[in-house]
Amino acid sequence: MDMIQKPLAVDNTYKIRDNQLWYNDCNFFEMVENKATIEVNIEGLGIRTVTHSAIGKDGRPTFSYKLPSREDRKWWETHRGEFVKLELLSIEGKS
């Protein structure tokens, strides 16, 4: 029997922007700020482990996560401007 994982946090109206998950736009920003990886369930895409983006060329921190594959980024960009439910399932491997 599959166990259903209860989310740590949920953002019911996350707006997709460009090719990254901008966590400063979601309501669980403080929980994931500067964490190396998080696992999220993205409505329409599924469960993905995303990796924190590198520090910007200007030395400023980024507030985004990279999607794991080219196909995921393509899906993300296709849905730009749409609102999706975003569930935080784990932070750095801990639920």
Q: Report pLDDT digits (tens) over 34-78.
A: 899 999 999 999 999 999 998 888 888 889 999 999 999 999 999
pTM of the model: 0.89
Of residues 1 and 79, more confidently modeled: 79
Mean pLDDT of the chain: 92
Q: How do the domains of the chain map onto residue ranges?
A: 9-90
- 8 Å CB contact between 3 and 63: no
Q: Is 24 helix (H, G, I), strand (E, B) or coil?
A: helix
Q: Give the helix, strand, coil percentages of the chain, each rounded to 5.
A: 15, 40, 45
How far is residue 43's CA from residue 7's CA, in Å, rounded to a whole number? Answer: 13
